[in-house]
Structure 1
Amino acid sequence: MDETIPARSTAPRRNSAGLRRDLELLDVLARDEARTTPGGLGVVRIAELVGRDKGQVSRTLATLAEAGLVSRDPQSLGYSLGYQLYALAARTLEARLVREASPYLRRLVSATHETTHLCVLRGGNVLTLSSELSEYHFRGLGWQGVSTAAWRTSSGRVLVSGWSDEELREWYHLHGHDEPVIPSSPLAERESAALPAVPPGTLLITDEESLLVEIGRIRARGYATVDEEFETGVVGVSAPVHDTHGQIVAAINISAPKGRLGDHLDEAGRLTARVARDLSARLASGR
């Protein structure tokens, strides 16, 4: 028996039209006018910009606010882009970072035979997004998905090395120590040759002044090193990964037993910095 197959409807789906209207509101809130207006844009102004009924816009904004996609100022009652959009954007960036970084991490493993990591900053912690493991039986651990105190790691120090001295002091005050510390004079402009040598195993950062000294060292060399500061018997190097705008968005790290890498930290640091620059160029190309 023949069966009649119903013709596929060519009418647009109702929910797609609704989605377009939602995206239209988000686009308005991403414009300069919305970003520079204290308290955000009001419903009336948003309705004017999209050419739609005020009541309909108000209801849509309320729904978007419940999802965290827009935020409503309790005083002005104006709207701006919400936290959930930024969280989704961050995840998108991190997904691309992991995808693009994989061959570069493997390149480092091939050259050094040591474990490599891709790391990002989360407040006072470093989060490892991905790891490529060494083939050695005795090797650095894969830290994927694990957070560690940033100020004690080479990757954490690299991730904040693009900040101003004032931002560094504030960050260390919040995350470096529980007790308050006294702000010191800027030291980051010292020449790296004038910086004091540090004995192996010594904790480099103990206050704001020593943080600025170490950041100055990182800026001068283009990479950071740690020698048993984070874990006894373990050394590491890290270098910054930049986005299209030159902002540091990630760090590439090598961690290894001191017996294998301890005498080659600067060599490994220079290599890591070259690989990180190549990854930065890849990200900037947008391909």
Structure 2
Amino acid sequence: MDATPVAAAATTSRSSAPSAGLRRDMEILELLATAQGAPGLGVSRIAESLGREKSQMSRALRALEAEGMVERDPDTLEYRLGWRVYALAARTVEAHLVRAAVPYLRRLVAVLNETTHLCVLRGSAVLTLLSVSPSHAFRALGWEGVSVPAPLTSAGRVLVSDWPPEALRSLLAEPADLHPGPRPRVHTADDLLREVAGIRKRGYAAVDEEFEDGVVGVSAPVRDFRGQIVAAINVSAPKGRLGKRLDEAGRLTLSVARELAAEFGHVRLMA
């Protein structure tokens, strides 16, 4: 039996309310996104820009703040995008990274005949999202989902290589928490700063039995359209197989990482 006109109108009103609220929230988030780089926007400015009532915007912003979608500066009382927006964006980028990286990692495997990894940063630790292995399948560990402190690995050092000195020093504020391998080169913050300086000069990082006995590795950064490092491509292998080709592997990994970065809109500026 069809609904009466009054019931149908009520149903339509109830069903359209959530979409109207979602549309309003999206307008707020999009406005704040266009203002990134500025301190933030106040409630009055947001309401005026969107042609909405200030009281309505205030309620909507409080709800978005409670969910972590926006945050409010306690001093200026202005709003900016919140941590959850960035967390969702990072996961989206990582999912795209994994899909896009597969052929590039396979190409490295085909040339070097060694295991390759795609790594990202989680706080101050390195997390492996993807591994591709050759037929002989050398794997010191099953790395997917395993995280290790950034200063210990070539991938970690690459991922933090754009950090300012004070941020790098904070990684080794408590060096006793690290678990170095048999031949670590990084013991102090100054060691890490020297390593990072070398990475910036060469474009890639290399380790020689620093994390695992008998294992060497190289890593190179993958940058996005902003030029920011979003991932690292790593090659790991027994020293007996790759040790004498470490620089060659580093240069090749850097070249492949730059090709992958181009898919994310990164344009390398030539000197």
TM-score bracket for this pair, using the shorter chain length: 0.7 to 0.9
Q: 1:185-196 maps to which residues of 2 (within 5 A)?
A: none
Which residue in the other structure is 1:242 paired with?
A: 223
Which residue in the other structure is 2:174 paired with?
A: 178
Preserved contact between residue 71 and residue 80 of structure 1 (Cα < 8 Å) = yes
| 1:87 is aligned to 2:83 | no
Ranges in structure 2 where 5+ consecutive residues have no aligned partner? 3-8, 177-181
Distance in structure 2 (CA, Å) of the matches to 1:235 and 1:45:
55
Partner SS state of residue 84, structure 1:
helix
Ranges in structure 1 where 5+ consecutive residues have no aligned partner? 181-200
Return the match for 2:255 from 270, 274, 285. 274
TM-score (norm 1): 0.79
Partner SS state of residue 30, structure 1:
helix
Distance in structure 2 (CA, Å) of the matches to 1:42 and 1:172:
34
Preserved contact between residue 121 and residue 156 of structure 1 (Cα < 8 Å) = yes
Partner SS state of residue 136, structure 2:
coil
1:137 Cα deviation after fit: 4.7
1:285 Cα deviation after fit: 7.0
Which residue in the other structure is 2:206 paired with?
A: 225
TM-score (norm 2): 0.83
1:72 Cα deviation after fit: 2.4
Distance in structure 2 (CA, Å) of the matches to 1:35 and 1:223:
30
Superposed CA RMSD in Å reads 2.6
Percent identity, aligned pairs only, is: 57
- Give the aligned length: 252
| 1:22 is aligned to 2:18 | no
Partner SS state of residue 92, structure 1:
helix
Distance in structure 2 (CA, Å) of the matches to 1:92 and 1:65:
21
Opposite residue 246 of structure 2, the aligned amino acid is: L
Return the match for 1:36 from 32, 35, 38. 38
Preserved contact between residue 224 and residue 266 of structure 2 (Cα < 8 Å) = no
Q: 1:40-51 maps to which residues of 2 (within 5 A)?
A: 40-51=40-51
Opposite residue 254 of structure 1, the aligned amino acid is: V
Q: 1:19-168 maps to which residues of 2 (within 5 A)?
A: 19-32=22-35, 35-37=37-39, 40-163=40-163, 167-168=164-165
CA 138–248 in structure 1, closer or farther in 2 if over 3 Å, else same = closer
Which residue in the other structure is 2:179 paired with?
A: none
Partner SS state of residue 231, structure 2:
strand
Preserved contact between residue 160 and residue 168 of structure 2 (Cα < 8 Å) = no
Partner SS state of residue 173, structure 1:
helix
Partner SS state of residue 36, structure 1:
coil
Partner SS state of residue 141, structure 2:
coil
